[in-house]
Every structure is written in C-alpha cells, then in structure tokens.
C-alpha cells in the first residue's frame, strides 16, 4: 500500500536532512501512530506522503503509484482521489455549513463523488450519513461551521476526509485541542469509519497515551540521530 525507500528530504537553508528513511512499508488498512520529538519531520513526512511536498530523493509509492514520477498537478489529482486529510486546524471553510464542507471533499474528484453516490443516492446524503456516524448532532448540519465547537469541527473535518472512501487517511495532530476522554472517543469513531472502508490511517500525535489504540507505532528520531 505505502512503500518508502531511500527517502532523503532537506528543507531549503537547512544544513542537514530533516528526513532520512531507508525502508518503510505500511500495509492496507494498517493504523499507524507516528511520533517523535518536535522538529523530527513528522509533518514533513505527511506532506510528502500526501503529495503536497515534492520528493527530492528516493521513492514513495502509494497504491503502486510512485509519487516522485508525478507532476505537481498529477499529485494534486492523486491526493484528491485517494487521500483524505485531517489537519490540526481542520482547514474548514468557515462560511459554509458542515454539510457543504464535507461535500467539498468530493468536489475535485469524480472518483470519490462516484463512490459517495454509490453508497447513498447523492453526495449530500452521504455527507449527512458520515456526519451522523461521526457523532455530529443533526441540528448542526446546516449551520455555519464557524459556530461549532472545536470537537464538532473536528468531526466535520473527519467526515470530509472519509467521504468517497479514500484508501489513505492522513491526520496531523487532529486531537491536540481536545481533552483526554474526547480524544480517545474521537479516535475510536475514526477507526470505526476506517474499518468500514478498509482505509489505512497515519496519525501524528505527541500524546503517547493514545498509541495503544493503533496497530503500530513508528518513531522518527530527532534530526541529530540516525534515521529509520
Ligand atoms: N516549509 C518549511 N520550510 C522550511 N523548513 C521547514 C518547513 N517545514 C518544516 N521545516 C523544518 O523541518 C523540520 C521538521 O519540521 P516538521 O514540522 O516536519 O517537524 P515535526 O516533527 O512535525 O514537528 P512538531 O512536532 O513540532 O510539529 C524543522 O526543523 C522545521 O523548521
């Protein structure tokens, strides 16, 4: 599913590489907890996996596609079709409703739109279903997203990531603004959805108390140590 080999990434004006990963494989449906000290390159790795950041050296294959062989536009298309993302600040559009934010997840991908329509009759019905499954109260679905609590916004961001069944879900500290109980409950709900769609989940967090919920932990060493 995901295969990394001989990956080296150095940010501009940095003397040393931020990331050096010799070999790493992540299987279909695996739920991975990615941790490591601040600055060890967790977000950099997610950016490379999601095709947001171009690969400088080495290879990343996602679903048999070598990302380094794709142009920037093709990586954008690949991400839209196959990768759902949930970021720390959620990146929701504040002037749209939860339903509209979730259907946006299909806006740039006819493939995901088709899959969402195959599950329910149309994309809005599937957005409705996912928001319900992720625990967002029905009375909030058409309100402005800016009026929602952080926990509610997080559910909207997760539903947007899952709509149209992307094979990979990438989450960068999506629970950092929540209290401990809510965090664990959110991850459990996230996994229920992931299991349903057999999605692979790569989840970055500083909170190691969450790691027992995952199939596997991957630690990135600090920039001064040898990498994977
Ligand atoms: N856009 C960028 N331009 C230049 N350097 C960057 C950029 N993004 C990250 N870096 C550098 O890369 C290194 C790793 O950053 P990254 O955000 O990937 O680490 P992280 O492990 O996710 O950190 P944290 O746990 O603090 O979020 C840092 O030294 C950072 O300054």
CATH number for 159: 3.40.50.300
Is any atom of ligand 1 closer than 6 Å to the C-beta of 41?
yes
In a domain? residue 122: yes
pLDDT at 223 over 80: no
Is any atom of ligand 1 closer than 6 Å to the C-beta of 35?
no
Closest-CA residue, ligand 1 atom 5, reads 11
In a domain? residue 121: yes
Q: Supply 144's token pair.
A: 């402005």
pLDDT at 226 over 60: no
Give the pLDDT confidence of 163-191 residue by residue, as tens digits.
Answer: 999 999 999 988 887 778 788 888 988 89
Q: Supply 157's token pair.
A: 């961001």
Order of all β-strands in the sheet with 57-62? 19-26, 2-9, 57-62, 65-66
Q: Select from 41, 48, 88, 202 the residue to mutate for testing ligand 1; criterion: most ligand atoms less than 8 Å from CB.
A: 41
pLDDT at 228 over 70: no
C-alpha separations of 5 from 25, 48, 169, 227 in Å: 9, 13, 21, 12
Is any atom of ligand 1 closer than 6 Å to the C-beta of 42?
yes
User: Domain containing 206: what range?
Assistant: 2-222
Give the pLDDT confidence of 119-129 residue by residue, as tens digits.
Answer: 998 999 999 99
pTM assigned to the model: 0.92
Angstrom distance (rounded) from CA 117 to CA 112: 8
CA of 77 to the centre of ligand 1 (A): 25
**Token pair 């080495």 in the structure block, residue:** 58
Q: Supply 104's token pair.
A: 């946006």
Closest-CA residue, ligand 1 atom 31, reads 39
**Total structural domains within the chain:** 1
With a CB cutoff of 8 Å and minimum separation 6, the contacts of 66 are 59, 60
In a domain? residue 228: no
CA of 224 to the centre of ligand 1 (A): 14
Per the prediction, the chain carries an average pLDDT of 92
pLDDT at residue number 224: 61
In a domain? residue 227: no
Angstrom distance (rounded) from CA 183 to CA 108: 30
In a domain? residue 182: yes
Alpha carbon 44 to its chain's center: 13
**In terms of pLDDT, which residue wins out, 25 or 175?**
25
């Amino acid at each position: 599913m995901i295969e990394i080999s001989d990956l080296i990434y150095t940010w501009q004006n940095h003397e040393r590489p931020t990331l050096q990963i010799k070999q790493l494989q992540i299987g279909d449906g695996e739920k991975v907890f990615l941790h490591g000290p601040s600055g060890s390159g967790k977000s950099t790795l997610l950016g490379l996996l999601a095709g947001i950041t171009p690969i400088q050296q080495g290879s990343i294959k996602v679903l048999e596609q070598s990302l380094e062989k794709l142009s920037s536009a093709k990586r954008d298309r690949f991400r839209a079709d196959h990768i759902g993302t949930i970021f720390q600040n959620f990146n929701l559009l504040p002037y749209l409703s939860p339903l509209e934010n979730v259907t946006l997840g299909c806006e740039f991908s006819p493939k995901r739109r088709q899959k969402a329509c195959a599950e329910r009759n149309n994309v809005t019905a599937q957005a409705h279903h996912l928001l319900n499954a992720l625990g967002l109260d029905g009375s909030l679905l058409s309100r402005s997203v800016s009026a929602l609590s952080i926990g509610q916004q997080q559910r909207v961001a997760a539903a947007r990531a899952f709509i149209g069944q992307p094979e990979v879900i990438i989450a960068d500290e999506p629970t950092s603004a929540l209290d401990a109980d809510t965090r664990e409950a959110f991850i459990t709900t996230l996994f229920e959805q992931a299991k349903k769609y057999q999605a692979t989940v790569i989840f970055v967090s500083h909170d190691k108390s969450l790691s027992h919920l995952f199939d596997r932990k991957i630690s990135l060493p600090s920039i001064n140590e040898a990498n994977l």
